[in-house]
Structure 1
Amino acid sequence: MIVDIRDLDREQVIEAISALEAELFGRGAWSEASVRQELDAPARTYFADVDDASHIRGYAGFWYDGDDAEIMTIGVGKAYQRQGIAAALLGRMIAEAKAQGAARMLLEVRVDNVPALALYERFGFQRLGLRKRYYQPEGIDAYTMSLDIARPHIVGFQSANATREETAQEEGERQ
């Protein structure tokens, strides 16, 4: 179940996210102090996926202060990956960013993170550019990606007829 982290015990959230950071990101993980600082920063929105016992299996958050919402992080414990948690968290962030008035969602992702790239592309994110040696201390490059959330997007398959109908409708609106 996806919940706003403000509805959970703050110290347990910080402890759980710190532990997941260490499990998932090794030397590049946020420390407990970094997690605390991030959650205290202005204009942040964070969600967690919790089980029935309120154990945090995954977390995600974004920053929004203007037209663009910037995804800060998404992490799902290794034991819970490939179960749709990251997709649920991403979907919730997109919906919340749109509700807050964001027109676009941005992110950086490691060029070698194939599952994350597939997830973002499935949601309609497009690659904008490349940031050399963005992820430290490993020096891994990052793709920058963007999603226009002002317009509805389709996750999954769409019929060719629907695409042609939308194109015809848009052409009619421009005339």
Structure 2
Amino acid sequence: MTTAVLREMRWWDIEPVLELEKDLFPEDAWSRGMFWSDLAHARGPHATRRYVVAETPGEDKRIVGYGGLASAGDVADVQTIAVAREHWGTGLGALILTELLRAATAFECTQVMLECRVDNVRAQKLYERFGFEAIGFRRGYYQPGNVDALVMRLNDPSTSVSVQGTEING
């Protein structure tokens, strides 16, 4: 079980998040500007985004995961989820996804969409556990590697969150 604590992502988290991003997704890492842009829409009464980081507890706090969701109308999109390799298999990915689905429910979204690399079977299994279903492909979506994306959809994210029952600390 993970010992990381989730909290809202803030602008000062971008640099450590970028380090993790570049380690995990060297060919198609997000840019600093992409994170800045999404965080600009994650605060205030008209927020359309929810970004969280997973941080180790104690004095030596370190970001070991993050995730983001964007909403538009009644549809949300999981923009990104990442977990440091040393935390794979600890439930941290499920914790982050649970928080993003809670945000989708709070945004009153009835569907959640996402794209996942076709070669990322670990992530696909996580999403399937939450009730996501494959609905199509986006050819060459991940560049510059020209890797296809599997498009997945979850109907009624509130049901999936209540089934998972994962608690968030902090």
TM-score by length of 1: 0.80
| RMSD (Å), alpha carbons | 1.8
Question: Kindly tell me: are residues 27 and 151 of structure 1, through their superposed partners in 2, closer, same or farther at Cα, counting changes over 3 Å?
Answer: closer
The alignment partner of 2:64 has SS state of strand
1:16 corresponding residue in structure 2:
16
Which protein has greater RCO, CA pairs closer than 8 Å, 6+ apart? 2
2:6 corresponding residue in structure 1:
2
Gaps of 5+ in 2: 42-46, 166-170
Within the alignment, does 1:109 sit opposite 2:109 as a pair?
no
In structure 2, C-alpha distance between the alignment counterparts of 1:31 and 1:125, rounded to whole Å: 27
1:151 Cα deviation after fit: 5.8
**Rg (Cα) greater in structure:** 1
1:136 corresponding residue in structure 2:
143
Question: Kindly tell me: are residues 122 and 150 of structure 1, through their superposed partners in 2, closer, same or farther at Cα, counting changes over 3 Å?
Answer: closer
After TM superposition, the structure 1 = structure 2 runs for residues 65-80 of structure 1, keeping only pairs within 5 Å, are 65-80=72-87
1:48 corresponding residue in structure 2:
53
- Return the letter of the residue paired with 2:98: G
- Return the letter of the residue paired with 1:129: G
Q: Percent identity?
A: 36
Gaps of 5+ in 1: 157-175
- Return the letter of the residue paired with 1:88: L
The alignment partner of 2:159 has SS state of coil
1:80 Cα deviation after fit: 1.5
The alignment of Structure 1 onto Structure 2 pairs a total of residues equal to 152
TM-score by length of 2: 0.83
1:31-66: per-residue Cα shift (whole Å, max 9, x none)? 223322332246221011111143211000010121
In structure 2, C-alpha distance between the alignment counterparts of 1:141 and 1:18, rounded to whole Å: 23
Of 14-23 and 46-55, more deviation after overlay is shown by 46-55
In structure 2, C-alpha distance between the alignment counterparts of 1:151 and 1:14, rounded to whole Å: 29
1:82 Cα deviation after fit: 1.4
